A and B are shown apart, each in its own frame.
Chain A
Amino acid sequence: METLKETLKLQVIQQLNLEDIKPSDIKDDEPLFGEGLGLDSIDALELIVLLEKHHGIKTINPEDGKTIFRSINTMAEFIVNSKK
């Protein structure tokens, strides 16, 4: 799980062009939207692309997006659960 979280941080930085951000700047439980990284709605769409491109998850229920993309922790949990 820890490896997945570190990989996710790198993927988020690359996918969202967060060029001045390092993986160590992103806390596992830090909100990705609003405060924290301050991501916006376009970033949310890019995170969906990220899940498909890097983790083979093709569709997510839009209503679940808020929960899935709350933090690196919740994204990692969602990826692990999707592969069970």
Chain B
Amino acid sequence: MSFITSYCRISKDKCSVNGKNILLINSDSELEWIKQLYKSLQIDYPKFYKMDVLSKLAFIGTELIKKNSDFNFYTDDDVALVFANRHSSGDTDLKFNNSYQQELMPSPALFVYTLPNILIGEIAIRNKWHGENLFTVAREFDATFFQNYCNILLSKNSQACVCGWIDAMEDNLEAFLFFVEVSDTSKLNLPFTSKIVANLYKA
């Protein structure tokens, strides 16, 4: 048996951790929502500003998970990264296409994000997590997929899994991340079952 020991959600106007809202969008701010979130973390990581939306969401989500979990138990190969979404890197693909068609200048900085699994690379670099990783594109969030795949990883060399559904297309963005550990290091009492994962996602 393994457990969900922390989870977070980011929508286009609010962010919650373990079911509690931690930040709501400030419509009066000059900063866009995702930068408001970054500033609230009080982290100095200039590369954040160069990331595409998917990587920014993944970055913020994992920082929130880290704040609510203890990763000191794990060596760098212990932590697996399992992510999925619906629109792949479509949002960045369109922006890159526009940089050709409207500005007549393809942007190298955009081009490097025209694959969705780059977000895993950003997280891995930031945290020096070099364990198993997977990014898959699916029509919709599938809790059973996460349960089955993570259980395989946890039965092999992985000791914990950072999982997430991170999707962005134009003004719509969505991130749901959860951390799975073999021991229940939290007080959430959330066994890692597909039913519980699905309920957390829908909540």
Residues of A within 8 A of B (CB): 16-21, 38, 42-43, 45-46, 49, 52-53
Interface residues of B in 103-135 (CB under 8 A from A): 103, 105-109, 112
A26 to B2, CA, bound (A): 50
Complex contacts, B50 vs chain A, CB 8 Å: 16-17, 42
Q: Which residues of B contact A (CB under 8 A)?
A: 35, 46, 49-50, 103, 105-109, 112
A59 CB, min distance to chain B CBs, angstroms: 14
Whether A45 and B105, one on each chain, are in contact in the complex, defined by CB atoms closer than 8 angstroms, is no
What residues of B have a CB within 8 angstroms of the CB of A46 in the complex?
Answer: 107-109
Residues of chain B with a CB closer than 8 A to A20's CB: 46, 49
Tell me the bound Cα distance from A16 to B108 in angstroms: 10
Contacts of A42 in B (CB 8 A): 50, 108-109, 112
| Cβ–Cβ contact B49 & A49, under 8 A | no
- Do the beta carbons of B49 and A45 come within 8 Å of each other? no
- Nearest chain B residue, comparing its CB with the CB of A50: B105
Which of A17, A19, A43, A52 is within 8 Å of B105, CB to CB? A52
Please tell me if the beta carbons of A45 and B108 are within 8 angstroms of each other in the complex: yes
CA distance A53 to B106 in the complex (A): 11
**CB-CB < 8 A to B106: which residues of A?**
49
* Minimum distance in angstroms from A8 CB to a CB of chain B: 17
CB distance B49 to A18 under 8 Å? yes
Q: A21 to B46, alpha carbons, bound, how many Å? A: 9
Chain A proximity of B152: nearest CB distance (Å)? 35
Question: Beyond the given A45-B108, A52-B105, could you list 15 further A-B residue pairs with CB under 8 A, ordered by the A residue number?
Answer: A16-B50, A17-B49, A17-B50, A19-B35, A19-B49, A20-B46, A21-B46, A38-B46, A42-B50, A42-B109, A46-B107, A46-B108, A49-B105, A49-B107, A49-B108
The listed residue (A17, A19, A21) touching B109 by CB distance below 8 A is A17
* Contact (Cβ within 8 A) B49 A53: no
Which residues of the other chain, A, contact B109 by a CB distance below 8 angstroms? 16-17, 42-43, 45-46
Interchain Cβ contacts under 8 Å between A and B, 28 examples: A16-B50, A16-B109, A17-B50, A17-B109, A18-B46, A18-B49, A19-B35, A19-B46, A19-B49, A20-B46, A20-B49, A21-B46, A38-B46, A42-B50, A42-B108, A42-B109, A43-B109, A45-B108, A45-B109, A46-B107, A46-B108, A46-B109, A49-B105, A49-B106, A49-B107, A52-B105, A53-B103, A53-B105
